[in-house]
Amino acid sequence: MKINGRHYRTIWLNPDGRSVEVIDQSKLPHSFETQTLSSFGDAVEAIKNMIVRGAPLIGVTGAYGLALAVADDPADNAIEAAYAELLGSRPTAVNLRWALDRLRDRLFSTPPPMRRTLAYSEAAAIADDDIQACHAIGEYGAALISAAAPRCPDRPVNILTHCNAGWLAAVDWGTALAPIYKAARAGVAVHVWVDETRPRNQGASLTAFELLGEAIPHTIIADNTGGHLMQHGLVDLCIVGSDRTTRAGDVCNKIGTYLKALAAHDNSVPFYVALPSSTIDWRISDGLREIRIEERDQSEVTHICGRTERGETARVRLTPHGSPARNFGFDVTPARLVSALITERGACAANEAALQSLFPNLANSA
C-alpha cells in the first residue's frame, strides 16, 4: 500500500539476492526508515524487538530468517537450531510456526545443496500467498461494510479497529484494514475509529499512519473510548485482526480486544475478526486455557517515545519511580462474542463446524 504516494510492501528481498529489507515499524509514525536483515540473527532480533510485528508479517519474516540461516549452513541440524530459535522469538502468534513448518518440511525433502535456492523461493511464495489471502479477506470484508452502508445514508460507515492489523502487520493490504481499503476503493464512504492501543500505541502510530497514506478518514481515540462510542450509535461495526484463532473460533489478539468485543455485544454492534487461515491453530479449541499470552517488558508501560516540538525523538517516563507495571501483550475473545470470522475463503460463524467446512483439509490434518 502507499506511503506518501509510493507503493511499498513491508518486507522484500534486496537485489543482492540474500539480504532482506523491512520497514522499521518501531520508528513509525515519526520517521520512515528501513532496516536490512543480513543474517539469521538480524531476523530474530527484528521479530523480538518488534521492528516487524503483526502475525502474518512475523510468519513471513520467520521464513526469510530461516532462508538466511540456510544460506549460511543448509545442514539438517543447522535448520533445526534456527527453526527452534525463530519459533521462540515471539510466543503467541501461530503464523510463525505455520510458516516455519511449511518451509522446514520442504527443506527436509530437498538435498542440502539445493536448499538455499528453495528457501528463498519458498519464503517469497509465503509472502505472495499472504498477499493473496489478504486481498481475498479484503473483498469478503468489503461486502460486509457495503451491506452496512444503506443504514448510514447521511454519513460514512463508522468502523472501529484495535491495534494494527493493516498492511504493516502483513505484507500488503492487511487483514482487518483490507476490507476498509477495498470498500473505500469501491466508493463506500468510511470513517475509522482508531484505538491508540496502549502500551505500544500501534493504533496511533501504525494504523493512523497507514490510513493517512491511503487517504481514509479516521479519528484517533484512547482505548477507553470505544464503549462510549458504541453506546451512542457512533460505531456501525468493529473489525480487528487475530494473532491466533482456535479451531472453535476463540480469538487471541492484541490486549484490549476482548473489552471492545464485550462492548460490541452489549450494544448489538457486529464484531468481525479478519484473519488468514495461517492464523488458525487447529490443535487447540479453548483459547483462554490453551494459548500462552506473551508478557513483555514493563518499560513499554512505564515509558513512551514521541516527538518533541523541535522534531527530536524523546523517550519519557510516565509513571512514578517505585511503581511496578505488567505488560500482557494479548487477550482472548471467546467465540461467543465474535459475529463472524473473515477469512480468505469467505466469512463464517466463529465455531468449529463453520471453520471446518471452509477449511476441511487443514482442519483434518491437524
Catalytic residue numbers read: 243
Q: Give the start-end residues of each E strand in 233-278.
A: 237-240, 244-246, 251-254, 271-274
The residue among 48 and 336 lying less far from a copy of itself, judged by its C-beta, is 336
Q: Phi first, then psi: give them for residue 252, nearest 5 degrees.
A: -95, 125
Q: Which residue's entry shows cell 445514508?
A: 153
Report the distance separating Cα 67 and Cα 6, nearest Å.
28
Q: Is 331 in the site for a copy of itself (CB under 8 A)?
A: yes
Instruction: Give the footprint of a copy of itself on residues 17-56 (CB under 8 A).
Output: 29-30
The residue among 164 and 343 lying less far from a copy of itself, judged by its C-beta, is 164
Q: Is 266 in the site for a copy of itself (CB under 8 A)?
A: yes
Q: Is 305 in the site for a copy of itself (CB under 8 A)?
A: yes
Query: Shortest distance, CB of residue 210 to a copy of itself, whole angstroms?
Result: 10
Contact stretch for a copy of itself (CB under 8 A) within 40-48, 58-66, 105-113, 226-234: 226-234
CA–centroid distance for 86 within its chain: 18
Is-cis flag, bond preceding 29, omega within 30? yes
Q: How far is CA 253 from CA 200, 241, 319, in A?
A: 14, 7, 26
Q: Is 181 in the site for a copy of itself (CB under 8 A)?
A: no
Q: Phi first, then psi: give them for residue 172, nearest 5 degrees.
A: -155, 165
Q: Is 7 in the site for a copy of itself (CB under 8 A)?
A: no
Binding mask 190-209 for a copy of itself (x = CB under 8 A): ----x-xxxx-x--xx--xx
Q: How far is CA 256 from CA 60, 253, 349, in A?
A: 25, 8, 22
Q: Is 347 in the site for a copy of itself (CB under 8 A)?
A: no
Catalog residues that contact a copy of itself under the rule CB under 8 A: 29-30, 194, 196-199, 201, 204-205, 208-209, 211-212, 218-229, 231-232, 254-256, 258-260, 262-263, 266, 288, 293, 301-309, 314-320, 322-328, 330-332
